[in-house]
Amino acid sequence: MLRSSNPILSKQDAFTPAAPQYGQTQYGRSPYQQYPPDPYGRQSQPPAPQVDEGRMTFDDVVTKTAVTMGVLAIAAGLAWMLVPAALYFPAMVLSGLVGFVVVMIVSFRRVVSPALVLAYAAIEGIFIGMISKVFESYYPGIVGQAVVATFFAAGATLAAYKIFNIRVTAKFTKIVVISTLAFAALLLVNFIFSIATGSGGLRGGIVGPVGPLALGISAIAIVLAVLNLVLDFDYIERGVAMGAPARESWRGAFGLTVTMVWLYVEMLRLLSYLRR
């Protein structure tokens, strides 16, 4: 059974090999065994066979990731064009919080829900549209730069993963996961501090002077996002190799989308630092 340390993709039963052994059902029994054994010696009927939904493939993951990212992009574009300036910050905060809740729901569900994955994409699209609009108003052209930088980083990571045949070890996974969780805790504390004090906290505001600490935090965030992409790629590759159920393609697409959103926001913030 394949298990992942990625918080988004971690499910004990997510990637269970789909093919049963020869002469057995998927429950490990002979197809000629009674279901269940009758104490009176009567032959009982076997249960109805489950429908084979197929196996997860790379094409499935790519297609579903494209659909999820497409929904996100459409929602971001609509939010960019339709939300009035007075609602930029409320819409950004509300969509960010709701998106976080949906991420938790999808992550803890035993069976992935395509509807929830697409709902996350739509809600997070509003967040991306609003934060992009705010940054673009202060730094014209920064959104295009951030989009190019995000996809370049993701493409370079995938190329390095395949060309250099990167193997994700247990030690590597442990370091990345612990670092990511610690960084997330730091950002949560910083967010609460910023709300309480009305300042930008450790990362500074959208405008104004920026110091080495803010630059360093942003650089660390981008490195962690890229390393999480490596975990995503490895998890999907192993899932395909083990014959995961086809529905798990949605979980793979969801994990990639969450990481790409994080990477884009950090690219946006880093570029704003460099342009001040």
Q: 216's torsion region: left (phi>0), alpha (psi -120 to 50) or beta?
A: alpha
Tokens of 245: 């159920």
User: Over pLDDT 70: what percentage of the chain?
Assistant: 81
Average pLDDT over residues 85-103: 90
Distance of alpha carbon 234 from the chain centroid = 14
As a whole number, the mean pLDDT across the chain is 83
pLDDT tens profile 109-121: 888 899 999 999 9
Q: What is the C-alpha to C-alpha distance for residues 139 and 272, in angstroms, rounded to an integer?
A: 7
Is-above-0.75 flag for pTM?
yes
Closest CA to 136 of 179, 59, 80: 80
Q: What is the C-alpha to C-alpha distance for residues 248 and 23, in angstroms, rounded to an integer?
A: 26
pLDDT tens profile 195-215: 777 777 778 778 878 888 889
Average pLDDT over residues 97-101: 90
